């Protein structure tokens, strides 16, 4: 029922390229250290309720996108923080879950927006539709590392 973290990404400010990290500090009620939304300068930061503290997307969905649409998404173009493998993220709806030492709570789905396509390439919004991942709240902070187990509670 669990999966694992395949990759970790942050962007230091809105519209900046995503950077892959081996690990990141998750801060309860704030977000991921060094990420645009934790710092309050992400594209959606100006919209009340538009920010998720951490976003997750399935590696399997990214592989489908590359096969079906021939769009590059494996280098962070998806604009999500955590890439998971081996777990259906929608199964976490209305649940808490652990990613390594961090306790998260499902917040909502994260459908793609036009801004993602403006930063990447034509067709990205369509490719991510119904595969855009989820947003979560950080209830207990800690470090999220590549390879950490994702466990539904």
Q: What is the CATH number of the domain that holds 146?
A: 2.40.33.20
Separation of alpha carbons 108 and 111, rounded Å: 9
Is-contact 54 104, C-beta < 8 A?
Answer: yes
Reply yes or no on whether the pLDDT at 45 is more than 70.
no
Helix spans in 4-119 (H): 36-39, 59-69, 114-119
Look at residue 90 and give its three-state secondary structure: helix
Query: Are β-strands 82-85 and 54-58 bridged in parallel, bridged antiparallel, or unpaired?
Result: parallel
Task: Output the pTM of the full model.
Answer: 0.91
At a CB cut-off of 8 Å and minimum separation 6, what does 133 contact?
A: 55, 56, 57, 58, 61, 78, 80, 89, 109, 110
Number of domains the chain is built from: 1
Residue 12: DSSP 8-state: S
pLDDT for the residue 42 = 75
Domain that holds residue 49: 3-152
Examine the pLDDT at 2 and tell me if it is beyond 80: yes
| Both structure tokens of 62 | 């990214």
Distance (Å, whole) CA 69 – CA 65: 6
In the 8-state DSSP scheme, what is residue 13?
S
pLDDT of residue 106: 97
Mean of pLDDT values over 61-67: 92
Of 35-44, 56-65, 88-97, the poorest mean pLDDT is in 35-44
């Amino acid at each position: 029922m669990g999966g694992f973290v395949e990759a970790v990404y942050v962007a230091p400010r809105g519209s900046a390229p995503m950077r892959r990290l081996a690990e990141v500090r998750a801060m309860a009620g704030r977000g991921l250290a060094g990420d645009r939304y934790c710092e309050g300068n992400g594209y959606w930061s100006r919209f009340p309720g538009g920010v998720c503290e951490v976003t997750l997307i399935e590696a399997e969905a990214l592989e489908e996108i590359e096969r079906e649409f021939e769009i590059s998404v494996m280098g962070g173009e998806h604009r999500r923080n955590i890439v998971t493998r081996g777990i259906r993220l929608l199964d976490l709806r209305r649940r808490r879950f652990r990613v390594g030492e961090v306790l998260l709570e499902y917040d909502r789905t994260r459908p793609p927006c036009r801004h993602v396509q403006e930063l990447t390439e034509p067709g990205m919004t369509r490719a991510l539709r119904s595969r855009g991942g989820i947003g979560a709240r950080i209830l207990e902070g800690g470090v999220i590392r590549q390879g950490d187990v994702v466990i539904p509670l």
